[in-house]
């Protein structure tokens, strides 16, 4: 490895890659995806499916691109007749025992066996109808994983994940020859906290998620880049949406944060995003009761209460709301004596042993670092106590809040808890799946999440709500904020810890904060 | 889709008696000195289990895993790779007849049949009603010039012909 | 034929000189025959000098690949930074081959001495002798011999251990054997890295066949020139070779002849030819993994690495399987395919699925259900199974199929056309 670059030609395209790069990775740079099954960049090379056969000039026979290192002057042909025929042969053999049950298989539409067969397989099999296909019953591997051995192509990605990444080899290859299957000990369970990754890794529909079983067809899903809200690790995820309902969470690769994986806690942490009991309109207190109204009146209402307020303000915020919302909520109280705090639900830490600095973190909050960088404190109980005598208390999406105050209570949230019925105003906001924004993970990395579905009723992103209030109160030095990008850029321009970052620059992979220290409030 | 499991023998209800105590544990200790890793002692350890119990149960695999710092699933993957490890109980006398091509052309099939008849095992892989015999066909035993070679337990017998089978079977009664 | 059997005058007894002498199995008996002299001498030699001698002798690996032994040893790091290992491949499982078994049964000390010399040459402190699980008798003999020789202190600092296989042909493949020693499934590894860089336990390792190592003490004793002089045809094939002859011959067994010996003489003179009233039909000259020779090719074949290649096959392990005219070639090829399907480790797609499918097609042809297109299909499958996998097991399955269809096509067609009575294949 190192800085030394090698030049090679792949399908006529010249590419330069660092020494040690595998041909299959070098090919990606030439815009060539060499078909493969056992190879996965997050797993040790196995070189056994033999799908990625390519022709390499001067080599006496076809080579596998996944186990061959690029060399200076190498000439690779992925589309030569020999290479294509070699791969076609592999596809035919993979299919002889594979059932034609795509119509009832969850993997259909995102199946690598389908895709590569469509791309370069034989139009028809020469195996059936003369010979019976191998049959083994479906097995229950663990809390969320079913094994359908008939569809298995023995690529061993799952076995290698458990052995080399999770470091808990609970899966094996059992038996040999064409009798082989993925096995588990009769007393074993696939219940490792990161076990669900085997379902994503499986290139075919052999390992299935019980949670997603027969829930949707892959081609019906809209995919949106997001950030997991399960803990402070900040794993990059994709939210799969079907008709405005999140139906699945899958890892999105980010080598700096979660490589290719997410934990099961994060994977299952999406049902609340589909909650039906949402606040759909702003509510303001009139004549002792909360009345639904429009945003203009609601914002005026809150602004007028705040304009008259003197003394102390308290903000009790959720560490699951966007950095932008936290920023504008803070701006709202600029000039007032202010204390902001958040609380973090704690759980058990569950590391993925084979990947450094990757774990389900004990802190089950995606934006605790963002809150800290913006001056919110962890002294939550103290802030709740202060709230009793404060003039204005803002509660931001903490439905379980137990706050009493003599002042004006403004509740901004997704759902309306019983206690919030005492509020002067209740403002409906979008949840993480319904807006754009950023989180700052435990390592100080700012990462964007995108909108996966529409917000119910009149709910708006929290950053919009607060920025409008700021504008209403101050005349707004920067004017209205129309997009999440503007919101972030406003934040980056005024908070030292974010200085120099731009929303566009964050892209899909995020960027570390230049100053990962807490700014003085 | 039906949900099921690969057939595995039901673990007994009686309390598990570990294999690696006393002498077997001592033997394993000596074996461990031969290798730089504990894992390398897996094949020898499995042989010790099979010598002690006649076959290797899932529970035995779990014990071996614990002793060698492996997982039961890993051990099972290894056990199922090697055909000489029995995953199910077999008869007291285990007969392996080579039937690969060189022996086949020298009449190995008749030897198999003679064993099935003489032992009462009747079917390949089945155990005779008296529990004494299991007969299987195996691939090449590596003594092709001495067709047909037969392994009865650990006894390697060369040049077996059908007419010699009944005497052999009597010897092992 | 069992031992002691009277050697044939045309044999050259080098490795098999003491076969049949029960006394040669004991340490004392072996020492009486000059045993362990060369080890004692070798231990005082510079490793590089031993390697040079072996290189000069022209000794090539007797396990099947025929790689020059001295060259293989020279791949080991000269400057030792990590532990070095020697693995002895006594997993003899290639159908038709049973020579290593005989060496271990009769001259266990020859193997131990050769192994210890090799270990010194490659600077290995530990030797694992991997003996296939079915070889119960050779195991017991080797165990006893090892205990005696160890007690006599002949190995110096070198430690030798026996490791028992448990029923897996593929463990004869060198990297699979190493995995098996490490307590893993016997899966062949992708190369590189090669064993000399990262072998057993990730350390520099050399792996040699039993017959190869057994020849080493004699090469040192009589000199490389002597060994090199044992060559009847190609100068690239030197020394003697034990040929295991089985199948349809009157006197099957192991015969030791000089490289380049005519296969015809081996079969007709040494082994007494096919049974009376029969004629030779075909012969597999190097263990079941090599292409089949027809009668004409067999009778004109010289037994050395080059001579057999010239006839379109390979010397392999020297396991000679003889088929007379009573043989159903289609059925025998199916049996061989079934063997490989049984032994495939399940890693590579072409091997896992291809060996099984090949077997099914052959079974179907035998049962009278075959089609003419099946022969093309078999050849096409064989093409996909050749040169595309981690190890050569699937190539080995393809070899008899391809050569069988080429040379005995009529027999396949007879089944397909219904001219031959279908066989009920279990």
Q: State pLDDT tens for residues C217-269.
A: 999 999 999 999 999 999 999 999 999 999 999 999 999 999 999 999 999 99
The residue of A152, A155, A178, A183 whose CB has the most chain C CBs within 10 angstroms, and thus the best one to mutate to test that interface, is A178
- Chain A residues whose CB is inside 8 A of the C350 CB are 50, 89-90, 93
Handedness of CA C351, C353, C358, C359 (dihedral sign): positive
Cβ–Cβ of C133/B105 closer than 8 Å? no
| A312: preceding bond cis by omega (within 30 degrees) | no
CA triplet C172, C177, C182: central angle to 5 degrees? Answer: 165
Radius of gyration of chain C (CA): 22
For the stretch C187-201, pLDDT in tens is: 999 999 999 999 999
Distance from CA of A168 to the nearest CA of B (A): 8
Distance from CA of A94 to the nearest CA of C (A): 7
pLDDT at A142 over 80: yes
Q: Environment class of residue A4 by beta-carbon count within 10 Å: exposed (0-12), middle (13-18) or buried (19+)?
A: exposed
Interface residue A171 vs chain B (CB under 8 A): yes
For the stretch A104-126, pLDDT in tens is: 999 999 999 999 999 999 999 99
Which token pair is A17? 């890659």
For the stretch A270-282, pLDDT in tens is: 999 999 999 999 9
Interface residue C185 vs chain B (CB under 8 A): yes
pLDDT at A162 over 80: yes
Interatomic CA distance for residues C122 and A377, integer angstroms:
66
> What pTM was estimated for this model as a whole?
0.95
Average pLDDT, chain B: 92
Q: Which of C151, C141, C153, C132 is nearest to C111 (CA)?
A: C141
Average pLDDT, chain C: 96
For the stretch A211-256, pLDDT in tens is: 999 999 999 999 999 999 999 999 999 999 999 999 999 999 999 9
- Chains with 3+ CB–CB pairs under 8 A to C are A, B
Cβ–Cβ of C343/A177 closer than 8 Å? yes
Over range A162-184, report the average pLDDT.
Answer: 97
Question: With bands split at pLDDT 50, 70 and 90, how would you rate the model's confidence at A520?
Answer: very low
- Chain A residues whose CB is inside 8 A of the C342 CB are 177
Question: With bands split at pLDDT 50, 70 and 90, how would you rate the model's confidence at B8?
Answer: very low
Looking at residue B6, its pLDDT comes to: 40
Contact pairs from chain B to chain C, CB under 8 Å: 142
User: Of A146, A173, A187, which has the smallest distance from its Cβ to B72's Cβ?
Assistant: A187
Portions of chain B given CATH number 3.40.30.10: 93-172
- pLDDT above 90 coverage of chain A, percent: 90
pLDDT at B11 over 80: no
Interface residue A178 vs chain B (CB under 8 A): no
Distance from CA of C355 to the nearest CA of B (A): 15
Regarding beta strands A207-209 and A145-147, do their DSSP bridges make them parallel or antiparallel, or are they unpaired?
antiparallel
Q: How far is CA C264 from the centre of its chain?
A: 21
Over range A391-412, report the average pLDDT.
Answer: 91
Interface residue A296 vs chain C (CB under 8 A): no
Cβ–Cβ of B156/C201 closer than 8 Å? no
Contact in structure between A477 and A405 (CB atoms under 8 Å):
no
Over range C103-123, report the average pLDDT.
Answer: 98
Classify domain B22-81 by CATH architecture.
Answer: Orthogonal Bundle (1.10)
Q: Which residues of A10-43 are buried (b: 16+ CB within 10 A; e: fewer)?
A: bbeeebebeeebbbbbbbbbbebebbbbbbbebb
Looking at residue C3, its pLDDT comes to: 60
User: In what side-by-side order are the strands of the sheet with A312-317?
Assistant: A289-292, A283-286, A425-428, A408-413, A392-396, A312-317, A337-342
- Chain A residues whose CB is inside 8 A of the B81 CB are 175-176
Distance from CA of A205 to the nearest CA of B (A): 13
Over range B5-30, report the average pLDDT.
Answer: 79
CB within 8 Å of chain B, chain A residues 182-201: 183-188
Over range A319-342, report the average pLDDT.
Answer: 94
What counts of helices (H) and strands (E) characterise chain B? 7, 4
Portions of chain B given CATH number 1.10.10.1590: 22-81
Cβ–Cβ of C346/A177 closer than 8 Å? yes
For the stretch C273-292, pLDDT in tens is: 999 999 999 999 999 999 99
pLDDT at A403 over 90: no
Question: With bands split at pLDDT 50, 70 and 90, how would you rate the model's confidence at A477?
Answer: low
CATH class as words, domain B93-172:
alpha beta
Q: Write the CB contacts of C268 (distance below 8 Å, at least 6 apart in sequence).
A: none
The residue of C169, C183, C350 whose CB has the most chain A CBs within 10 angstroms, and thus the best one to mutate to test that interface, is C350
Question: With bands split at pLDDT 50, 70 and 90, how would you rate the model's confidence at B173?
Answer: confident
- Distances in whole angstroms, Cα of residue A4 to Cα of each of A7, A16, A31: 10, 10, 22
Interface residue C135 vs chain B (CB under 8 A): yes
- Chain C residues whose CB is inside 8 A of the A124 CB are none
- Distances in whole angstroms, Cα of residue C306 to Cα of each of C260, C313, C424: 9, 10, 40
The residue of B43, B95, B138 whose CB has the most chain C CBs within 10 angstroms, and thus the best one to mutate to test that interface, is B43
Q: How far is CA B45 from the centre of its chain?
A: 14
Looking at residue B4, its pLDDT comes to: 39
Contact pairs from chain A to chain C, CB under 8 Å: 89
Interface residue A174 vs chain B (CB under 8 A): yes
Give the nearest chain C residue to A69 (CA atoms). C192
Give the nearest chain B residue to A104 (CA atoms). B1
Looking at residue A516, its pLDDT comes to: 52
- The DSSP letter of residue C246 is E
ipTM of the complex: 0.95
For the stretch A15-42, pLDDT in tens is: 999 999 999 999 999 999 999 999 999 9
Interface residue A44 vs chain C (CB under 8 A): no
Interatomic CA distance for residues A285 and A28, integer angstroms:
60
- Chain C residues whose CB is inside 8 A of the A92 CB are 384
pLDDT at A429 over 90: yes
Cβ–Cβ of B8/A186 closer than 8 Å? yes
Cβ–Cβ of B41/C183 closer than 8 Å? yes
CB within 8 Å of chain A, chain C residues 261-320: none
Q: Which residue has the higher pLDDT, B142 or A420?
A: B142
Q: What phi and psi values does residue A128 have, to the nearest 5 degrees?
A: -80, 160
Cβ–Cβ of C95/B82 closer than 8 Å? no
Contact in structure between C362 and C334 (CB atoms under 8 Å):
yes
Contact in structure between A48 and C393 (CB atoms under 8 Å):
no
Contacts by B36-39, CB closer than 8 A, 24 or more apart: B36/C83, B36/C201, B37/C182, B37/C183, B37/C201, B38/B68, B38/B69, B38/B70, B39/B68, B39/B69, B39/B70, B39/C182, B39/C183, B39/C184
Q: Write the CB contacts of A169 (distance below 8 Å, at least 6 apart in sequence).
A: A159, A162, A163, B70, B71, B73, B74
Distance from CA of A173 to the nearest CA of C (A): 9
């Amino acid at each position: 490895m190192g800085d030394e670059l090698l030049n090679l030609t792949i399908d006529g395209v010249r590419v330069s890659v660092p020494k040690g790069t595998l041909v299959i990775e070098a090919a990606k740079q030439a815009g060539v995806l060499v078909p493969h099954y056992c190879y996965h960049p997050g797993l040790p090379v196995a070189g056994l499916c033999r799908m990625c056969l390519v022709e390499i000039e001067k080599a006496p026979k076809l080579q596998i691109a996944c186990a061959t290192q690029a060399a200076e002057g190498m000439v690779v042909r992925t589309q030569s007749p020999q290479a294509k025929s070699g791969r076609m042969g592999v596809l035919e053999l993979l299919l002889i025992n594979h059932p034609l049950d795509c119509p009832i298989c969850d993997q259909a539409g995102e199946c690598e066996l389908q895709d590569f067969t469509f791309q370069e397989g034989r139009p028809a099999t020469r195996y059936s109808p003369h010979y019976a296909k191998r049959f083994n019953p479906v097995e229950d591997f663990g809390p969320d994983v079913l094994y359908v051995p008939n569809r298995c192509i023995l690529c061993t990605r799952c076995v290698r994940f458990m052995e080399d990444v999770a470091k808990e080899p609970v899966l094996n290859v059992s038996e040999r020859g064409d009798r082989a299957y993925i096995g588990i000990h009769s007393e074993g369970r696939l219940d490792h906290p990161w076990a669900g990754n085997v379902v994503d890794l499986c290139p075919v529909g052999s390992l299935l998620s019980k949670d997603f079983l027969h829930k949707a067809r892959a081609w019906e899903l809209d995919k949106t880049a997001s950030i997991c809200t399960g803990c402070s690790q900040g794993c990059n995820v994709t939210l799969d949406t079907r008709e405005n309902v999140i139906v699945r969470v899958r890892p999105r690769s980010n080598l700096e944060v979660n490589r290719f994986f997410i934990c099961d806690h994060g994977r299952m942490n999406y049902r609340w995003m589909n909650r039906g009991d949402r606040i759909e309109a702003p509510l303001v207190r009139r004549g002792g009761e909360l009345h639904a109204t429009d945003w203009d009146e609601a914002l005026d209402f809150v602004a007028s209460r705040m304009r008259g307020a003197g003394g102390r303000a308290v903000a009790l915020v959720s560490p699951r709301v966007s950095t932008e919302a936290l920023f504008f909520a803070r701006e709202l109280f600029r000039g007032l004596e202010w204390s902001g705090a958040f609380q973090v639900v704690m759980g058990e830490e569950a590391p993925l042993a084979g990947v450094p600095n990757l774990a389900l973190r004990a802190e089950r909050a995606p934006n605790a670092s963002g809150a800290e960088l913006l001056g919110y404190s962890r002294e939550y109980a103290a802030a709740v106590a202060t709230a009793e005598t404060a003039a204005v208390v803002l509660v931001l999406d903490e439905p379980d809040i137990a706050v009493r105050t003599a002042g004006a209570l403004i509740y901004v949230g997704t759902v309306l808890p019983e206690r919030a019925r005492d509020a002067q105003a209740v403002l409906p906001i979008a949840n993480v799946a319904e807006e754009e924004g950023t989180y700052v993970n435990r390592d100080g990395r700012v990462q964007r999440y995108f909108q996966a579905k529409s917000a119910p009723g009149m709910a708006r992103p929290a950053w919009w709500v607060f920025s409008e209030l700021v504008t209403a109160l101050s005349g707004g030095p920067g004017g209205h904020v129309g997009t999440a990008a503007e919101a972030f850029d406003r934040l980056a321009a005024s908070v030292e810890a974010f200085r120099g970052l731009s929303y566009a620059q964050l892209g899909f992979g995020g960027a570390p904060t230049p100053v990962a220290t807490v700014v003085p409030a | 889709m039906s949900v099921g499991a690969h057939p595995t023998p039901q673990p007994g209800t009686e309390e598990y008696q570990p294999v690696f105590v006393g002498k077997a544990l001592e033997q394993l200790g000596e074996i461990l000195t031969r290798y730089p890793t504990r894992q390398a002692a897996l094949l020898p350890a499995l042989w010790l289990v099979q010598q002690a119990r006649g076959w290797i149960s899932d529970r035995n695999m779990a014990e071996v895993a614990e002793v060698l710092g492996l997982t039961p699933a890993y051990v099972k993957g290894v056990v199922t790779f090697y055909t000489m490890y029995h995953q199910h109980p077999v008869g007291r006398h285990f007969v392996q007849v080579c039937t690969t091509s060189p022996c086949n052309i020298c009449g190995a099939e008749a030897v198999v049949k003679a064993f099935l008849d003489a032992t009462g095992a009747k079917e390949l892989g089945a155990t005779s009603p008296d529990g004494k015999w299991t007969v299987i066909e195996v691939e090449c035993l590596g003594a092709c010039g001495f067709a047909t070679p037969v392994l009865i337990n650990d006894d390697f017998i060369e040049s077996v012909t059908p007419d010699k089978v009944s005497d052999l079977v009597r010897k092992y009664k | 034929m069992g031992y002691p059997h009277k050697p044939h005058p045309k044999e050259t007894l080098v490795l098999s000189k003491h076969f049949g002498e029960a006394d040669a199995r004991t340490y004392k008996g072996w020492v009486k025959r000059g045993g362990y002299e060369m080890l004692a001498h070798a231990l005082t030699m510079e490793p590089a000098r031993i390697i040079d001698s072996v290189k000069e002798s022209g000794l090539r690996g007797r396990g099947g690949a025929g790689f020059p032994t001295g060259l293989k040893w020279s791949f080991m790091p000269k400057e030792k930074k990590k532990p070095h290992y020697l693995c002895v491949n006594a997993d003899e499982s290639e159908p038709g081959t049973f020579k290593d078994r005989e060496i271990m049964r009769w001259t266990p000390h020859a193997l131990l001495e050769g192994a210890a010399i090799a270990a010194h040459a490659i600077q290995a402190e530990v030797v694992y002798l991997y003996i296939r699980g079915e070889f119960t008798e050779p195991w017991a003999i080797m165990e006893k011999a090892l205990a005696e020789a160890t007690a006599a202190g002949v190995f110096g600092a070198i430690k030798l251990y026996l490791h028992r296989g448990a029923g897996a042909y593929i463990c004869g493949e060198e990297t699979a054997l190493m995995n098996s020693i490490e307590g893993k499934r016997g899966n062949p590894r992708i190369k590189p890295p090669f064993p000399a860089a990262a072998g057993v336990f990730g350390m520099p390792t050399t792996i040699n066949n039993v017959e190869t190592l057994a020849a080493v003490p004699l090469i040192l004793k009589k000199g490389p020139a002597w060994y090199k002089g044992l060559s009847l045809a190609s100068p690239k094939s030197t020394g003697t070779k034990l040929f295991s002859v089985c199948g349809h011959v009157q006197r099957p067994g192991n015969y030791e002849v000089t490289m380049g010996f005519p296969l015809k003489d081996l079969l007709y003179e040494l082994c007494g030819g096919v049974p009376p009233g029969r004629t030779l039909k075909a012969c597999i000259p190097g263990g079941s993994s090599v292409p089949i020779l027809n009668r004409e090719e067999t009778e004109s074949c010289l037994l050395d690495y080059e001579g057999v290649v010239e006839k379109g096959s390979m010397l392999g392990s020297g396991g000679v399987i003889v088929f007379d005219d009573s043989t159903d070639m289609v059925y025998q090829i199916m049996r061989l395919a079934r063997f490989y399907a049984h032994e495939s480790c399940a890693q590579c797609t072409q091997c896992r699925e291809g060996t099984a499918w090949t077997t099914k097609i052959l079974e179907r042809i035998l049962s009278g259900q075959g089609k003419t297109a099946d022969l093309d299909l078999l050849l096409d499958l064989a093409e996909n199974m050749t040169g595309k996998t981690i190890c050569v097991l699937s190539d080995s399955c393809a070899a008899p199929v391809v050569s069988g269809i080429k040379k005995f096509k009529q027999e396949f067609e007879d089944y397909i056309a219904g001219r031959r009575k279908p066989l009920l294949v279990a």
